Amino acid sequence: MKLEKASTNMEEKVLCFLGDKLHPAMRSRQAELSYLRQLTSNLLPFIVQQKYLNCRTATSLVREIFSGIVFLPVMDIIADPDVINHLLILFFDKTPMANLPDSTEPKVEFLSNFISSHSVNRRPVLYTDLQTILEDQRLLYVFMQFLKEESALNVLQFHLSVDEFNTRILNPDLTKEELEALHLQAQQMYNTYFASHALDRINFDDDIVQEIKSIIAGPPENVIKLRTTTPLFRAYDHAYKLLENTYCPMFLQSDRYFSLLCGERCGNSNARGLGKGGRKENAGVSTMSKLGNKLKGVFTAHVDDGQICEEEPGIDLAEAMFPDGSSNLDGAADVYTMEDDPRLKKLSAWRVFIPQVMMRMDQNCKYYHTFRIEVQRIDVRDDDNPDDLHWTVERRYTEFYVLEAKLTEFHGELSVQLPPKRSQQNKGLAFLESKRPEFERYLQTLLTLPALQGSELLFQFLKSPTPFTTSFLPDIKIGKMIKTVPMKLMKEKGQHLLPFLQAFVASTEAAKPKPR
């Protein structure tokens, strides 16, 4: 009893001495478990890729396993003084440790018949072989994006490089210049995929690396040996099997592949669950929210003829009408401008693809189709944000013709035009799929036109997630309209150029004498 009382008094004195400096995990068992859960949540992004953390159920399960089954027992072992003393004795004891004696029990016969699988391996319904992926441009583009996420794009690049190399080297009548070019290409492939210091090195067998190294170290005529010997073909086979047996099955189970087949996940999961009563109750709030979203951000810098002109300070109607932040109920995005990065004005450095047609559902539970536009910038730097180098925007069929009409209004007739517009009744999924390549070529051609390199219209169409329409509210600077009566509309390069020149010439002429 005295010993227990003395121990209790010692613990109380230690707690009183530490006070608020006591570690949070020391307060109670539940506090210790909560601390380990938070510690596990902070460690998971460093040990698991972010795409695997999108599932909240799996993340919670892994967190509970690590915190309750791994970390908590380890903390108990570390805090046990008997365990620590035993470890210290083993550490400082100079007596050699004895070997564990062999078991005297008879060995159990290995049950080999029970581990062999007798089931027939059937291909899944959505199976696609590697050769089909390589031949289909849409599948190949998505597959490349998947390999980029897995840091394995170098395997596919090596496969395609060897295909091109074999096509050139199989020519029986090679000239000296062609042999030198092939020898240089082989050296570049070795320095990229075989050398020990290469960033995109693939783990080939050492004998393959040494044979290829000895061939490219010789004169250019020795490059023919890559056609008559096996090292390059063995390396090619190794990369192909790696793609076919490892990365292709992973790709067929990835979100990118399912998104290509079925479309993106629906962002508004509660849209179908809204009843008629709920829609009627929220009708007023939704209408006002849309108005607030259109007004939000109208007081931005005004772009006119490629120059930034600051607007006069005005009143933000969205904040005045919705002080509780309800103007963001529909997820209004920020207004994009070119002023943050001067390189954004060089639209020729953008690469545009339309890989698929998506199906979406509006707030009234009605389905519609959009074109998914992938935009990639090639003017990259090491300090750039990855989100600024690649993004996705969705546009409807009519928005392309709004863009064409606006560009024609501000820049005149262009050398590229869209196909004739169809009526609303004829725009099915098959029709939109047939127009997808034409719309893709249209955008790609627009990015190459010198007159559109700094176009704010084309920039907003490819960058801003908001609908690209001719509606009244988004185009008017209401903040300045409230401060001053005249309204100022957003202008594109070349608008009202002739009246400006005429007024400028008139201002330089001398005033005519008044009649006497």
Confidence at residue 118, expressed as pLDDT on a 0 to 100 scale: 56
SS3 content of the chain, % helix, strand, coil (to 5): 60, 5, 35
Q: Which residue has the higher pLDDT, 123 or 118?
A: 123
Q: Which residue is it, tokens 């365990």? A: 83
CB 407 within 8 A of CB 447: no
CB 376 within 8 A of CB 351: yes
Residue 19, SS3 per DSSP: helix
In a 10 Å sphere around its CB, with 0-12 CB exposed, 13-18 middle and 19+ buried, how is residue 234 labelled? Answer: middle
Q: What is the rounded CA–CA span in Å between residue 326 and residue 378?
A: 38
167-191 pLDDT, tens digit per residue, is 888 887 888 888 888 888 888 889 9
Residue 495, SS3 per DSSP: coil
8-63 pLDDT, tens digit per residue, is 677 777 778 877 778 888 778 888 899 999 999 999 888 887 777 888 888 889 89
Residue 95's Cβ-side half-sphere holds a number of Cα atoms within 13 Å equal to: 6
Q: Which CATH class is domain 347-463?
A: alpha beta
User: Which range, of 74-78, 213-217, 224-228, averages the lowest pLDDT?
Assistant: 224-228
Residue 1 has pLDDT above 60, yes or no: no
Residue 243 has pLDDT above 90, yes or no: yes
How crowded is residue 294: how many other Cβ atoms within 10 Å of its Cβ? 20
Give the angle subtended at the CA of 466 by the CAs of 464 and 467, to the nearest 5°.
120
Question: What's the predicted TM-score (pTM) here?
Answer: 0.41
How crowded is residue 277: how many other Cβ atoms within 10 Å of its Cβ? 8
- List Cβ neighbours of 47 (8 Å cut-off, separation of 6 or more): none
> What does the domain layout of the chain look like in residue ranges?
15-92, 130-261, 347-463
Confidence at residue 238, expressed as pLDDT on a 0 to 100 scale: 92
Q: Which residue has the higher pLDDT, 413 or 275?
A: 413
Residue 337: phi and psi, rounded to 5, are -135, 165
Give the angle subtended at the CA of 395 by the CAs of 450 and 489, to the nearest 5°.
65
Q: Which CATH class is domain 130-261?
A: mainly alpha
Q: What is the rounded CA–CA span in Å between residue 497 and residue 13?
A: 85
Q: What is the rounded CA–CA span in Å between residue 417 and residue 407?
A: 11
